[in-house]
Structure 1
Amino acid sequence: MNYVLREENGFRYIEEGEGETLLLLHGLMGALSNWEKVIEAFSPNYRVLIPMLPIYDLPLLTTGVKTLSKFVHKFIKYKKLTNITLLGNSLGGHVALIYCLAHPENIKTLILTGSSGLYENAFGGSFPRRESYDFVKEKVEYTFYDPATATKELVDEVFQTINDRNRVIRILAMAKSAIRHNMGKELHKITIPVGLIWGKNDKITPPEVAVEFNQLLPDASLYWIDHCGHAPMMEQPEQFNLLLREFLEKVTLKV
């Protein structure tokens, strides 16, 4: 990935393009590179910002989805962002939902893809055996419809992460926080337009999760991507970007 990682005021982030703000939030095992094709497609028309969420840097007692939402708020205040289009994948979607409830005045529209917040089947129901590279490879492949999407570089990155004791403790704490923090009873309060772009073959947050989000959110639009797992922007980037653009145009026409 050829984008500059900026470091300012305790934040690490990518910023590309100019225009309305498109703020992207990565997942628990995600990275800024997950959004590469979104940056390419949208930076000509949007100011695309991707903060690195401090999942591994928080004190253990405060490691949780609410703390990440507070971090996002600090970042938004620091960058003086308003009228934001907020897009989150997996845990990033969960953090985005919490943020929208706390600070609706800053958000124009929300897009969720493979978001937690209602249900997730993390690592296929079992925590990886850290010493087994093949087991980790199998679990990373489980994230996608096409196992080939789990490149060696991606598997190496996850293997390295979960063999770092401090990181693995925080991953567990964050995953438990996400599972405990079910948002089913709060979603009706989010009245802005929400786009749900979901892989039809997502095994982490299965299709029925998207259907439930669609039912519980007052102004939701649900889009499906065939032959696609938990990270559509990585596995089917062209289709994902097409649907994202379609949703954003629909929102613009509503205004």
Structure 2
Amino acid sequence: MAEGQTTTVSWVEMEDGCRLYVKILGDDWTRSKPLLISLHGAPGLSTHAEPEASYTFLSDAFRVLVYDARGSGASSHTGPYTHERWIKDIENLRQWAGAERFILAGASYGAFLALDYAISHGDRLYGLILRGAWANGKFGPMNVLANILTSNKVQADRARQVRLWSGTLIDDQDFEDSIQELLPFYAPPETDSSTTTAPESTEFRGSVKFYSATQNSAFGENMPRFDVRSRLHLIEVPTLLVVGRHDNVTPVTASQEIANGIPHAKLVIFEHSGHSPASDEPERFEQVLSDWIKAEGMLNPRP
């Protein structure tokens, strides 16, 4: 963030009493800058920390809004943890921020929510940024589970991983144990697994909280119903997809399928990245996003 800028922290209350922990990166009291909202992944595990680390570089040009989704981090653990409710929270935050339209960025599970939002509220968007997504919520978790169980990078407890990806975790400790054993799985091949952090989180060591109820809702209830393949053509805004060549969770083929279905989409593959190009190749990630934003005229978007 540029020298002299600040981060504004707010608690924003939803109409059902749920309080969301929200940060606006960069000081713009006049609200003259366009708004960018970035969604974190890993429900019940991740927080605003990953999108804050990934998108702070844009805070000179945008009001960058990041937050802990309900059921994650410091925000209230007030259900339901459904796509419909999470999307309503996005709409509430858009209105709270005073923006008629904005850029929406979603990472991993946040990309699934971003796809659903773009299909239902596309008139509210200038653009869409997706990192690590799939369009078919039935096939996606089964494919990643198959990759885990055949991987030579991890020694995973099979039954526990089945519980993780089917949304049937026993408790919060079961959730933590399942993620701990998966750390090397998320990294590109050349990364030292001893330095790998948890997916979607820059705070893993000793401070991340695990909420299995949120994860269970996401993968036990939402994912079996998530299938946007036949509706991708409804997304009319410019869309950027980024994916790591070595992403074992949301592989290149999944992003390619989405790019093929969205009329105005650009796919960029990061050759030295796993599931998190923003942290695996940060300089290139920032350059790719900056170039795309300029090329699409989003620094001074139309009203």
Is the aligned partner of 1:89 residue 2:90? no
The answer to which of 193-202 and 49-58 deviates more is 49-58
Kept after mapping to 2: 8 A contact 1:11/1:52: yes
Is the aligned partner of 1:168 residue 2:215? no
TM-score by length of 2: 0.72
Q: Report the Cα offset of residue 103 of structure 1.
A: 1.5
Aligned to 1:64: 82
Q: Report the Cα offset of residue 183 of structure 1.
A: 0.9
Instruction: Answer 1 or 2: which has greater helix percent.
Output: 1
Q: Could you report, residue by residue, the CA deviation over 1:48-104 in whole angstroms, capped at 9, with x for unpaired residues? A: 111221035233xx3222221111111112222223111100111111111112222
Q: Could you report, residue by residue, the CA deviation over 1:118-167 in whole angstroms, capped at 9, with x for unpaired residues? A: 35345746246846977633313312223333179525455x41xxxxx2
What are structure 2's unaligned runs of at least 5 residues? Answer: 1-5, 14-18, 150-160
Query: Which entry has the higher C-alpha Rg, 1 or 2?
Result: 2
Q: Report the Cα offset of residue 242 of structure 1.
A: 1.0
CA separation in 2, counterparts of 1:92 and 1:112? 8
Kept after mapping to 2: 8 A contact 1:117/1:179: no
Kept after mapping to 1: 8 A contact 2:56/2:64: no
Q: Could you report, residue by residue, the CA deviation over 1:195-234 in whole angstroms, capped at 9, with x for unpaired residues? A: 0011111111111001101111111000111221112223
CA separation in 2, counterparts of 1:5 and 1:168? 26
Aligned to 1:190: 235
CA separation in 2, counterparts of 1:82 and 1:144? 38
What are structure 1's unaligned runs of at least 5 residues? Answer: 162-166
What is the letter of the counterpart of residue 174 of structure 1?
A: A
Q: Percent identity?
A: 20
Aligned to 2:179: 136
CA separation in 1, counterparts of 2:176 and 2:81? 27
User: Secondary structure of the residue that 1:238 maps to in structure 2?
Assistant: helix
Structure 1 residues 134 and 97: CA distance shift in structure 2, 3 A: closer
Structure 1 residues 135 and 175: CA distance shift in structure 2, 3 A: closer
Is the aligned partner of 1:7 residue 2:11? yes
Is the aligned partner of 1:113 residue 2:141? no
* Among 17, 21, 25, the residue aligned to 1:16: 25
Kept after mapping to 1: 8 A contact 2:104/2:114: yes
Structure 1 residues 133 and 105: CA distance shift in structure 2, 3 A: closer
Aligned-residue CA RMSD in angstroms? Answer: 2.7
Structure 1 residues 131 and 98: CA distance shift in structure 2, 3 A: closer
Q: Report the Cα offset of residue 237 of structure 1.
A: 1.9
TM-score by length of 1: 0.85
User: Secondary structure of the residue that 1:22 maps to in structure 2?
Assistant: strand
CA separation in 2, counterparts of 1:183 and 1:30? 24
Aligned to 1:245: 290
Is the aligned partner of 1:30 residue 2:43? no
Aligned to 1:164: none
Structure 1 residues 215 and 154: CA distance shift in structure 2, 3 A: same
What is the letter of the counterpart of residue 12 of structure 1?
A: Y
What are the equivalent positions in structure 2 for 1:69-80 lying under 5 Å apart? 69-80=87-98
Kept after mapping to 1: 8 A contact 2:8/2:23: yes
Structure 1 residues 178 and 131: CA distance shift in structure 2, 3 A: closer
Kept after mapping to 2: 8 A contact 1:199/1:207: yes
